[in-house]
Amino acid sequence: MILGILIAILYTLGSIVDLFMEAIGKKGGFQMPIISDILPFDIFSWRLFVVLPLWLLVVLICIIAIWIGYSMLTTPAPVPLEELEEELAAEEAAQD
């Protein structure tokens, strides 16, 4: 669970945030005049179309890993087989 959270945070900082900071720092490539005046980054950058789907995929996998980890932490341990066999034997003896 904690590993999933760490991977999601590190991947977010290394991809989306890094791409956004790079886009703010430089103004180059194709820019729509109206959109580039409003937004501080170029929304038509090819890197955005490559990095964003990959980031969403990694975050989705991390969310699933966090969910599985949380489920494993909160689910009680199963009853050992020896105890189940003893309970079944006691129930059968009580029915006879």
Mean pLDDT by 10 residues, the chain (96 residues): 77 69 57 57 67 85 93 88 86 80
The per-residue pLDDT for 36 is 55
DSSP state letters, 24-62: HH---S---HHHHHHSSS-TT-HHHHHHHHHHHHHHHHH
Q: Which domain covers residue 16, as residue numbers?
A: 2-95
Q: How many domains does the chain have?
A: 1
